[in-house]
Amino acid sequence: MSTTYQVIARKWRPQTFDDVVGQDHVVRTLKNAISRGRIAHAYLFVGPRGTGKTSTARIFAKALNCTGGPNADFDVNDPACVAIAEGSHLDVIEIDGASNNGVDQVRDLRDTVRYAPAQGKFKVYIIDEVHMLSAQAFNALLKTLEEPPAHVKFVFATTDPQKVLPTIISRCQRFDLKPIPNELIVGRLKKIAAEEKIKVTDAALACIARLADGGMRDAQSIFDQMISFCGAEISEPDVLDVYGLVAADKIAELAAALAAGDHQKIVALVDDCDAAGRDLVRLLIDLQAVVRGALLDAIAKGGRSEALGGGPMTTEQITRMLDGLREGEGSVKLGLAEKINFEVTLLKAVEASRARAIDSLIKELAALADEAPTGAGDGEKKKG
């Protein structure tokens, strides 16, 4: 029996510029370029996974090759746009850079760009993971990329721009796509849940967004998995159990224990999390995010914050705590005794936050020395 089921990440893939979430700077620039007739011959989309690089490239291809285009506000039901969305349009060629990374494939591409478009106004080449091309393949592409025929547009996408030759980058307009903020991910998931008739709590959506690390596709895949696990109702404990996350209130409790220097409570909380099978590496990352929030709060308030809940802390103390948590990340991830390494990392971070920087001590001593009475010293000078 054939099935027509589509995973949420594919079903809810952005189809128009207005569907793209969290990349307003990219969308605005591309729409302006199309409306003003300033369409470049090559674009490079850079950003973490799941932030919309390939989806934006396809939408751009639709805007270029829609009926009566180029038009940024195209109709998604236009036959040309439908064909591009389905991958059957003759003039929009998607190439996987990882699989077609040899010089021979690029030479074939270089030969085909000369032919006029068969259906649309432009031939659009979308090369995903372009950093996977070999050096020889890049060099074979250079001349074509510098002076392509007027009917050809290149759109490259990569998660690793450092591996792309500078000579390629200099021939492209570069767009950096950012990790998507959690609140935008939650908003998008709420819309999907309403359409899919899934009942999900705000706390559960916040957990999914936290897990996604700024990637909309990751968030949608996690949401899909949670639907398979829970059915039509999803709550925060379900997400915590499936992915080994620690609840936000427990993270806040641990952060407060760190700020208060309560060693016993720190060890007890770690015991609870470990016994419940929680992911300690993930807990460390989440804890760093909470401490960073307190650091920003301290900076905004002139050098002191009570955001961690364990008493007032200075910017220096919070910075040292965050540095201690960051330094222990490697040992928690790669060490054999994860729980022990995690406990040691937390206790070291507490001690680091209570230590004083030598330069700040020198400044304080100098200030005290300036304020101290100098009568005795002046008398000795007069006597001498």
Q: Give 189-234 pLDDT, tens digit per residue.
A: 999 999 999 999 999 999 999 899 899 999 999 999 999 998 889 9
- The structure tokens listed for 148 are 């392509």
Q: CATH number for the domain including 130?
A: 3.40.50.300
Query: Is residue 370 in some structural domain?
Result: no
Nearest to 130 by CA among 171, 79, 90: 171
Residue 339, domain member (yes or no): yes
Do 27 and 151 share a domain, yes or no?
yes
Instruction: Compute the distance between CA of residue 333 and CA of residue 365 in angstroms, rounded to an integer.
Output: 41
Residue-number span of the structural domain to which 231 is assigned:
182-243
In percent, the amount of the chain with pLDDT more than 90 equals 54
Task: Please report, in angstroms and rounded to a whole number, the separation of the first and last CA atoms in the chain.
Answer: 108
Q: Report how far residue 294's alpha carbon sits from residue 296's, in angstroms, rounded to the nearest whole number.
A: 5
**Residue 372 and residue 225: Cα distance in Å, rounded?**
68
Which residues of 27-88 form beta strands (DSSP E)? 42-46
Whether 271 and 257 map to the same domain: the answer is yes
pLDDT score, position 84 = 92
**Are residues 350 and 284 part of one domain?**
yes
Summarised one tens digit per residue, pLDDT across range 297-310 is 999 988 888 888 87
Backbone angles phi, psi at 351, to 5 degrees: -65, -40
Asked whether residue 60 is domain-assigned, the answer is yes
Q: Does 384 map to a domain?
A: no
* Cut 0.85: pTM above it: no
pLDDT at residue number 6: 83
User: Residue 254 CB: number of other CB atoms within 10 A?
Assistant: 24
β-pairing, 42-46 vs 173-176, is: parallel
Instruction: Output the pLDDT for position 349.
Output: 92
Give which of 131, 138, 71 is closest to 102, Cα–Cα: 138
> Residue 70: is the preceding peptide bond cis (ω within 30°)?
yes
Q: Is 66 a member of any domain?
A: yes
Note whether residue 15 is domain-resident.
yes
Asked whether the predicted pLDDT for residue 383 surpasses 50, the reply is no
Q: Is residue 365 part of a domain?
A: no
Whether 13 and 26 share a structural domain: yes
**176, 207, 228 — which closes off a domain?**
176
User: CA 368, 371, 373, 378 torsion: positive or negative?
Assistant: positive
Does one domain contain both 231 and 273? no
Residue 371: its pLDDT value, please?
78
Mark whether 106 and 131 lie in a shared domain: yes
Nearest to 21 by CA among 203, 154, 209: 209
Quick one: 261 and 223 in the same domain? Answer: no
Q: Are 189 and 199 in contact (CB under 8 A)?
A: no
User: What is the average pLDDT value for the chain, to the nearest integer?
Assistant: 88
pLDDT at 1 > cutoff 50: no
Residue 213 shares a structural domain with residue 140: no
- Summarised one tens digit per residue, pLDDT across range 324-346 is 999 988 888 887 888 999 999 99
Contact of 214 with 47, CB cutoff 8 Å: no
Q: Give the model confidence (pLDDT) of 259-296 as tens digits.
A: 998 999 999 999 999 998 899 999 999 999 999 999 99
- Tokens 């030598």 correspond to 358
Inside any domain, residue 375: no
Torsion of CA 90, 92, 98, 102, to 10 degrees: 70
Q: How many separate domains does the chain show?
A: 3
CA-nearest of 177, 160, 144 to 42 is 144
| Contacts (Cβ under 8 Å, ≥6 apart) of 367 | none
Whether 116 and 146 map to the same domain: the answer is yes
202 and 139 in a single domain? The answer is no
CATH of the domain at 196: 1.10.8.60
Q: What are phi and psi of 370, to 5 degrees?
A: -65, -35
